[in-house]
A and B are shown apart, each in its own frame.
Chain A
Amino acid sequence: MSPGEIHGLIGENGAGKTTLARILGGLAAPDSGKVRIGGRAVELSGARQARALGVAMVHQHFSLVPSFTGLENIALLDPGAWNRRGAAARGYRERVEARARELRLAVELDQPVGGLGVGARQRIEVLKALMPDPRVLLLDEPTAVLAPQEVDGLLAVLRRVADAGGAVVLVAHKLDEVLAVATRVTVLRRGRRVLTTEVASTSAPQLAEAMVGSKVAGPATSSRWRGAPLEATPVARLAGVHARRDGRQALRGVALEVRRGEIVGIAGVDGNGQRTLAAVLAGVQRPDEGEAELPPEVGWIPQDRTEEGLVGGFTITENVALALHGRSALRSGPWLDWRGVGEAALGVMREMEVQAEGAEMAAGALSGGNQQRVVVGREFLRSGSFLVAESPTRGLDVKAAAAVRARIRELAAGGDEAPGIVLISTDLDEVLELADRTLVLVRGRLVEMAPGDRTHRAIGRAMLGADRAGGDDW
């Protein structure tokens, strides 16, 4: 790494990107090997020390304290915020504001960050890292939660940092971002460096091949193949739905119709009402206003596999029983018919090709991909007519994600008996790949995209909402 360089670090999930970044950031110790900063080998034993040596880090998951204001969050890590007695230093706030102006970051310093949007939080995170002018800035997947335009804003800030002589390490799994901003790039695969090269002398396919280790098929076609025509009557319908979450208005006048055999994609930046929409569609939350016509049973593949979709300490059978325990066919007297449930579980495992030692294996011991297959299969068993899938491939590696997507596609292509599926995802590529129709959820409102507008640019604009015109500041 040299001053003024932006270095892209790419690789699949589990390739070791985050671990490498954490070692550089002082949060994890290497089992062997050395870190050199400024030509000297150093042992980093904590974030503060890394900081003192000029290494700053922006984490994949927000490392902000939700109940603190932006200013408090920034001061937490910055020795410059305090005088010698440890009390707040005079004029610190002005210095922070000046730095934000210099970097052209629009930040809100006096609100608790927990109440801010994702983009605003990410700006504070970046400013927090850049406050003491580090020599090296590390960013671990900083764009994962942002809308395309916000990604552009962030990349512009990174360029300004590099132009001012800082070195930037950008960890990403999206090639186009790295290609857009980095000067050099390193590819990691299963914890090994497989390639380091100048960006100018490489191409996206070459990098992709290096990441996966074999030739990758071209990107999936944007619209999927369809067999049967859609039925006329919707299987689920929302009209004028308003709903709250934690006392705040989360959905404002949402209208949606889903028919059997179609996949309706709902894109949007996290925190715009996705969770509430899923809960309303699943019939778990009743709207405050408006109508929701839903089938009696709805399959729900929730966002959080390990906390909501499954109970890790339960067996696969018990997890399947969670969905079916209310059915009279699976009871005899007061007892649950465990044999019947066990057969259903084995059916799910067969159908979804779950790799496990048996239905009595603890769900928590399965791999992420297999866990998600259990959830998808169980929810399809719960309802053959309507499924809600929330970011169903989050955290899965490329192969497992592709397999889960293929399953969802197959379900929707199942002819007359196919369910209607709502796919709520923050991954725009996933929505574009799977969905027949695309809507954007922004601040609790649903906006339908015209078929011609199904581009990253247009959807990205919709994701940010019309009223945020892109100025120079990000």
Chain B
Amino acid sequence: MADLSALSSFLVAAVGLGVPLALAALGEMVTERTGVINIGLEGSVIWGALGGALGALAAGPYAGLACGVSTGALAALCFALFAVRLGTDQIITGTAVTIGSLGFTGAVFQSRFGATGIALELPTVAALELPLLSEIPILGPALFNQAAPAYIAYLLAPLLAWLLFRTRWGLAVRAVGESPDAAHAAGVPVIRTRLLATVFGGALAGLAGAHLSLVHTGTFAENMSAGKGFIAIAVVVLGRWSPWGVVAAALFFGAAEALQFALQAWDSELPYPLFLALPYLLSLAALVGWFGRARAPGGLGSPWPTARR
């Protein structure tokens, strides 16, 4: 029975850690489906974490979540105005947005709370236990005793699957990503679609960031996103740009991270920095092992309309 409860708490941790990745990656998946790769996602995550913290301090944890969504969306909007509207290079623009977000969130944080180094304590979003469902042995508590963002992720996956593959909207989105010229010829507003999809991705990344500060840690620290946004981009590749694949890949990473915590708890003598590196190494390994079988959207990364040189 001790083993079972250990397994159960491992699963709870795995899902809890997988949720922010799943949220950010589902958003980025939609963004990439329109042909935009947003490396600035990391920036949206850190802005979401800070926005979540400030919102929660001002008006409670749920307001914090909403605030995190908006700040994440704003960071993505900034990226999109340059990379989509103006047509600057997506990779460099995204990197700049990430660097700037890490800098400016640090600046805002320091001017609000000072550079004291005392950990900030935030009101956290409590877990919501779903009646009946949470009583399923082992899986129940892991899946259905989580904070609200987890349920958003559960609902989002089937919703996005339906939207992308069964509706006119989804066909238009995919057309923009595969071949913007063809989409334009078919009357799909390419720029607007890409802008909205990028902002949507940023909003979800912001929610993921708020999850980090308000569910996961209950505090905010500079650079606390620690590459979560980048891992989310790898998760999109591993999930082969499909909603269910993305969720599965995100949970896999959540499990890897939970495993690292479990191992640390088990033997504190283990060199924990090496375990911290584990999710990143796993991302790399999975990219190599998996990539050959997946196909990225045809127009991914290229600005539109195509610039004449």
Contacts and interface: CB of A to CB of B under 8 A. Distances in A.
| Contact between A and B in the complex (any CB pair below 8 Å) | yes
A87 B167 contact: yes
User: Interface range on chain A: under 10, 10 to 19, 20 to 34, or 35 or more?
Assistant: 20 to 34
Interface string A266-281: 0000000000000000
A49 interface: yes
Contact of A364 (B174, B185, B298, B309): B309
Interface residues of B, number: 22
Contact of B185 (A27, A49, A75, A82): A27
Contact of A86 (B167, B179, B181, B186): B167
A311 to B, nearest CB: 10
A65 interface: yes
Interface in A24-52: 26-27, 46-51
Interface string A371-408: 00000000000000000000000000000000000000
B161 interface: no
A313 interface: yes
A64 B187 contact: no
Contact of A81 (B168, B169, B179, B185): B168
A141 interface: no
A68 B187 contact: no
Contacts of A62: 182
B99 to A, nearest CB: 28
Given A63-B182, A65-B182, A67-B178, A47 B309 contact: no
Given A63-B182, A364-B309, A75 B171 contact: yes
A65 B309 contact: no
B166 interface: yes
A1 interface: no
Given A76-B171, A82-B167, A87-B166, A63 B185 contact: yes
B178 A27 contact: no
B150 interface: no
Given A76-B171, A81-B168, A82-B167, A63 B186 contact: yes
Interface string B237-263: 000000000000000000000000000
A48 B172 CA distance: 12
A26 B186 CA distance: 10
Given A67-B298, A72-B171, A48 B178 contact: no
A363 to B, nearest CB: 11
Interface of A: 26-27, 46-51, 57, 59, 61-68, 72-73, 75-77, 81-82, 85-88, 312-313, 364
Given A64-B182, A81-B168, 8 more contacts: A27-B184, A46-B187, A47-B185, A65-B175, A73-B182, A87-B166, A87-B167, A312-B309
